[in-house]
Structure 1
Amino acid sequence: MNGLRQFFDSLAGRTLLLVLAVVAVAEIATFSLFFQQGRKSHGHQTARNVAGQVRLLQSLLPGLDVRARQRLEAAAPGEQWLQLRPDGTEVPPNRPAFGFAQGLGERVGQILGEPIELRQAGQARGNLWIGFAAGGERWWLILPPPRFRPRGMPPDLWLKLGVALSALSLIAGLFVRGIVGPLRRLDAAVTAAGDGRAHTVIPQGPREVRHLAEHHNAMQAQLTQAEAEQREMLASLTHDLRAPLARMRVRAALLEGDGERAGLERDIEDMDRIVGQCLSFLRSAPPHNGNGNTAVSAEKNCAPLVLADAVSDEVARQRELGRPVTMKVDAAAVSCAVAINHGSLHRLLDNLIDNALQYGEPPVEVTLTAEAAGMAERRKGKAMPAAETVEAPETVTLCISDHGCGILPEQRWRAFEAFAQIDPARATRGSCGLGLAIVRRIVEGCGGTVSLGEAASGGLAVSMRFPARPPEA
């Protein structure tokens, strides 16, 4: 029932319903007019036949002898033809109340030029008694129901109507499919563009739908070109800044005053951090092919990396730099592999640890856990068979948390936007708002998800869930 409701809520269902409704209304109106005209024609024909019979009887009855009258009255009741009865006690007293009888009496009276009496046998549509005068006597002509009831639609006509409606439904379904199919593909292309997986669509269907697809392709090509130009401009800018930064470092080293040198070195570090974030943001962007379509991320196709070993190496490197970083790995996550390359993992951890130390409070905690589908079911309170207690992990979660103030829940969604500054003061501390945007690009390129939460220490917790891969032999 729910599926049927969803179908008729779609454009295809509503269009098909509209076509069938229009055809059904047209068929009903056509048959109604046809049978109405048939009933009217049948009424006129019956009135002429009855009037002709009455005139004939009015001419014959006065000259008949007793024996001829008896033979004329001897017709068996219930026959499908007209019967004749003299006036007597067997004449029913009820007057007919249905429209056909009233119209018949009026038309017969108009043809004969004299009033006609009508009686009906029983409350239902029984025999219709038509009274007339002949030879100074009252006679009654009995009209059985098959003679005055109009014929209904023949059964074979109903069958043909059903076949015609079925064929029409099939044709309408194919017609609607030709309209909705291109619209559905265009909808998928627009949705993919919103998710960063832009691709073109082949113009198909009616002229308006083809024009819409062509405009979408043109818009997508323009957006791709603008993005490529922006990426190239930003890459050129950040690359060109490297040389002035190097010269500033040399000049800072030649300064005699320690205060001036320390301030200039802080400015250089901030500028260098901004340049590094911009370059990392550009490197994390998914490549585009020549058709304006977003190519498949290279992260998903790279060799699986044992995440615990790689993260441990990065944490050791951070500790060598004197940074307070701790690491905890669950037993289930020790041998789990993830489709990510070393360079992307290095940029990811650098951004998160830098943010945690610069905007949060040490120490920075790195946690690695693994989870299987059965574990999630057990957490929901569902009983699991004993044979399923040991399962291969399906997801690996890497969490980076600090001991700072964190980010308010209503502001966390903005933290993933490129160049977004939740705290305006961060703009003066060597940040351009690209750290978490870089992290999201890298994680989603690996087929994972990233979310922000509150750590047990009250700081910010960045949780990244990756699909687990079997490690290469």
Structure 2
Amino acid sequence: MKIFHKVFICMFSASIVTGTIALCVLVIEQSKALEKDIHRNYLSLAGVMSKSIEAGYLAGKWPFETLAEAQEHGKIVFWLVAKPDGEIILASNSSMWGKKLSDKYFSSTIKSFDTKFEGETVRLIIYPLEITEEGKNWIFCMGYSLEPIINARNLLLERGLISFAVLTILVAIVSFLLSRDISEPITKISKAALSVARGDLDQYITIRTDGEILQLADNFNKMVRDLKKQRNELKKLLKQKDEFIYQLGHDLKTPLTPISALLPLIIEREKDPKQKELLDVVLRNVNYMKKLVMDTLELAKLNAPSTRFDLKRVNLSSVVERVLYNNKPLFMENGINAENKVREDIFVKADELRLEEVLNNLISNAVKCMPDGGNLTVSAEERGKEVVVHVKDTGIGLTSEEKERIFDEFYKVDRSRHDLGSTGLGLTICKRIIEKHGGKIWAESEGKNKGTTISFTLPAYR
């Protein structure tokens, strides 16, 4: 055997092995991502349903139609509402009403776990409601089936194993039988496999040959088509979820608008101080619900592919200065020293209004994290084709877990505060806006009480 053949066989084998490993990793990651996305969607749906229940409680009428529609669209196995003593007072299945839940179902934070329900494995989401009784929260419990996740995962694993087996057999055959002419098609296959492993599924291999190499290319193209089909199905499900949330938000917004407008007039005319105090509580909750609906609609709009930004040349320092000036009363009220350290010669390619929205959200969030006052600094640096912006505070800081979850929908760092000024969507909206600009956003903190730095990237304007 010639040296060229020996070297070629080694290189070829290494390329195919790398490609198959990459494909296996892709299948596993696709499975994990599918389960994570489905769970995140149900968490979002549970949050919206919980807020509907809270609104119905305040209005004195349970939103059965809204909950039934959510159950049908979300393919929920069951849902229920229980008081702190464990009594189920509301459920999708009337036979569950009046039954008792054990203490393990109650928590002041959102939690989820798997269990059996009527012989089927379901995942429970426990969502504490903003309804209290003797200082304890009511809970909203929702169960959804794990069967679709298990089937999809098994299908992905099966196809991954089949693809791996086919590729392994073809490597053994091709390594011994084919000659120098196969180097180009093998290179194409290897590059395409690595592209797929990186998430680029717009790959199609055309080879002017026959035999095992052609079969390998056909199997690879079939596998990519299957992966694209599965990804498109997942996108379709996510789109349906966004459309449902958008429609639900509009339905909730309609009654909230006149309520929030009329309540101040009623409060102003009310003479009884106790009644006035109760009406103030109702108004605060109505305003919170309205803000939650508006943020949810904003998030759904940002998730829509049709949303476009007006990208243009923007002086970053000017925008930061304007945002800090507009928030000056907030800084004075909370004893915060804010400073703009962005150079005046830094320009970015961005939608100016959306950029202001991001900075306002980050600054508002930083102020909430500095209850005793402190320092807030906005700075920026140029890194090649990007500009990295830092919003740094000297507040309560973050744990490692909080840094990972802080941009998740409806996530709040301190849930025990029941802060009606925060919906848990502000940082999620910031993330969507930055991603629409082609950038990324992340949080850094050395730990509790050591401050936090939120950084994000924007394309530099040259």
TM-score range, shorter chain: 0.5 to 0.7
- What SS does the aligned partner of 1:433 have? coil
1:309-348 correspondence runs (5 A): 309-320=318-329, 324=334, 326-330=337-341, 333-348=343-358
Whole-angstrom distance in 2 between the partners of 1:466 and 1:410: 26
Q: In percent, how many aligned pairs have the same letter?
A: 21
- CA 1:220–1:335: 2 relative to 1, 3 Å: same
Aligned to 1:117: none
Aligned to 1:248: 259
Aligned to 1:270: 288
Aligned to 1:351: 361
Aligned to 1:441: 432
Higher normalized contact order (CA 8 Å, seq sep 6+, divided by chain length): 2
Mark the runs of 5 or more structure 1 residues left unpaired by the alignment. Answer: 24-167, 193-198, 289-296, 374-392
1:453 has 2:444 as partner: yes
Aligned match for 1:22, one of 171, 176, 197: 176
Aligned to 2:121: none
Residue pair 2:374, 2:395 contacting (<8 A) in 1 also: no
Residue pair 1:308, 1:368 contacting (<8 A) in 2 also: no
Residue pair 2:379, 2:391 contacting (<8 A) in 1 also: no
The total of aligned residue pairs comes to 287
1:306-455 correspondence runs (5 A): 306-320=315-329, 324=334, 326-330=337-341, 333-361=343-371, 363=373, 365-372=375-382, 396-425=387-416, 429=420, 431-454=422-445
Aligned match for 1:206, one of 201, 217, 223: 217
The one-letter code of the counterpart of 1:339 is K
Whole-angstrom distance in 1 between the partners of 2:450 and 2:195: 46
Question: Deviation string for 1:336-363 (max 9, x for gaps)?
Answer: 1112212212321232233233344264
Whole-angstrom distance in 1 between the partners of 2:224 and 2:388: 40
- CA 1:13–1:239: 2 relative to 1, 3 Å: closer
Whole-angstrom distance in 2 between the partners of 1:187 and 1:363: 47
Residue pair 1:12, 1:180 contacting (<8 A) in 2 also: no
Residue pair 1:203, 1:211 contacting (<8 A) in 2 also: no
Question: Deviation string for 1:80-115 (max 9, x for gaps)?
Answer: xxxxxxxxxxxxxxxxxxxxxxxxxxxxxxxxxxxx
- CA 1:409–1:221: 2 relative to 1, 3 Å: closer
- CA 1:8–1:298: 2 relative to 1, 3 Å: farther
Q: CA deviation at 1:423?
A: 3.5
Aligned to 2:456: 464
Whole-angstrom distance in 2 between the partners of 1:468 and 1:182: 31
- What SS does the aligned partner of 1:339 have? strand
Whole-angstrom distance in 2 between the partners of 1:461 and 1:267: 31
1:170 has 2:180 as partner: yes
Whole-angstrom distance in 1 between the partners of 2:255 and 2:236: 29
The one-letter code of the counterpart of 2:241 is Q
Residue pair 2:376, 2:391 contacting (<8 A) in 1 also: yes
Aligned to 2:278: 260
Residue pair 2:388, 2:455 contacting (<8 A) in 1 also: yes
Whole-angstrom distance in 2 between the partners of 1:364 and 1:246: 37
Whole-angstrom distance in 2 between the partners of 1:12 and 1:211: 19
Q: CA deviation at 1:313?
A: 1.6
Aligned to 2:229: 218
- What SS does the aligned partner of 1:304 have? strand
- CA 1:250–1:372: 2 relative to 1, 3 Å: closer
Whole-angstrom distance in 2 between the partners of 1:223 and 1:465: 28
Residue pair 1:364, 1:400 contacting (<8 A) in 2 also: no
Q: TM-score, normalised by structure 2?
A: 0.52
- What SS does the aligned partner of 2:391 have? strand
Whole-angstrom distance in 2 between the partners of 1:17 and 1:438: 48
Aligned match for 1:10, one of 15, 18, 39: 15
Residue pair 1:399, 1:463 contacting (<8 A) in 2 also: yes
Question: Deviation string for 1:294-315 (max 9, x for gaps)?
Answer: xxx955x711211111122222
Whole-angstrom distance in 2 between the partners of 1:223 and 1:320: 45
- What SS does the aligned partner of 1:398 have? strand
Whole-angstrom distance in 1 between the partners of 2:288 and 2:385: 40
The one-letter code of the counterpart of 1:318 is N
Residue pair 2:320, 2:340 contacting (<8 A) in 1 also: no
1:284 has 2:295 as partner: no
The one-letter code of the counterpart of 1:222 is E
Mark the runs of 5 or more structure 2 residues left unpaired by the alignment. Answer: 1-8, 20-167, 207-215
Question: Deviation string for 1:199-231 (max 9, x for gaps)?
Answer: 654476634223212212221221222222222
- CA 1:184–1:333: 2 relative to 1, 3 Å: same
Cα RMSD of the aligned pairs, angstroms, is 3.7
Whole-angstrom distance in 2 between the partners of 1:266 and 1:342: 31
- What SS does the aligned partner of 2:410 have? coil
Q: CA deviation at 1:249?
A: 1.6
Whole-angstrom distance in 1 between the partners of 2:388 and 2:293: 29
Residue pair 2:343, 2:380 contacting (<8 A) in 1 also: yes
- CA 1:349–1:7: 2 relative to 1, 3 Å: farther
* Rg comparison, structure with higher value: 1
- CA 1:8–1:284: 2 relative to 1, 3 Å: same
Q: TM-score, normalised by structure 1?
A: 0.51
- CA 1:439–1:11: 2 relative to 1, 3 Å: same
Whole-angstrom distance in 1 between the partners of 2:418 and 2:358: 21
